[in-house]
Amino acid sequence: MKERKKTAIIATSLKIQKSNSPPTIAESPPPKGSARGQHMLVLSQLRNKNHRYVTCIAHNAKGYDGNFILRSVLENTDWKPEVITSGSKILSITFKKLQFIDSLNFLPMALTKLPISLGLQDSFVKGYFPHFHNTKENSRYVDPLPAPEMYGIETMASKEKSEFLKWHGELSRSSYVFLMELEIKKYCIQDVHILPMSCLHFREIFIATTGVDPFCKAVTIASACIKVFRWNFLQPDTIE
């Protein structure tokens, strides 16, 4: 079997407040400078390290993160990346040994469903966050739990809504104090925890089953399957 390239996988998840402020990476308080600049500094360092190939993954990158990443690359570096698109959606951004892809193209489901679908343990449960409460004015909010409407309850399926209302009711009755700064940090860290664990687990299953790394030189599950066919089943000299 051919030698697979060693791949460093980085899962990213950006959370943005509903304002004109720049995006912030959800970890400990960021150092001075723009978030985009910090992000590109990390990526530049990775690209220059002794990795044969670096794959950066974001969930729904084609509809969200990819646009910020491409803008950061163009504004903060002299790179000339190769961009693969499907209409206005960015499928991948590649520059030499650094590649950005979208895990949604391999695992087409909401991030919250990945742990259950892949059989990961309960510690990977995504939890709930009041996205509609996440405004600049509420960035220092310290008060009771926001109303269910702030969590987008109207978009939830019946089972999810029932589970959410049970969780919200129990927490509200316990006089829980909601600290926005702490809650958004916890939620984002859990996001970034779920994504790499899910991607790595999926990758392990795929490699064990097919002998092919799905994230190496593939941008969708379809292209990964074509690699499997070419590697394992296509006979020599059968394509003219």
In a domain, 71, yes or no: yes
**32 and 61 in one domain?**
yes
If phi > 0 it is left, if psi is from -120 to 50 it is alpha, else beta; for residue 103 that is alpha
In a domain, 199, yes or no: no
State how many domains the chain has. Answer: 2
Question: What sign does the dihedral 201-205-208-212 (CA atoms) show?
Answer: negative
Residues 6+ apart with CB under 8 A from 187: 15, 26, 127, 129
Task: Choose among 26, 25, 47: nearest CA to 36.
Answer: 25
**91 and 138 in one domain?**
no
In a domain, 30, yes or no: yes
**138 and 28 in one domain?**
no
pLDDT in tens, 214-231: 998 799 999 999 999 999
In a domain, 175, yes or no: yes
pLDDT in tens, 75-101: 888 889 999 999 999 999 998 888 999
Task: Choose among 192, 197, 169: nearest CA to 28.
Answer: 192
Domain span at residue 148? 112-183
Residues 6+ apart with CB under 8 A from 54: 7, 8, 10, 46, 47, 97, 98, 99
In a domain, 171, yes or no: yes
pLDDT in tens, 172-211: 999 899 999 999 999 988 888 899 999 999 999 999 999 9
pTM of the model: 0.75
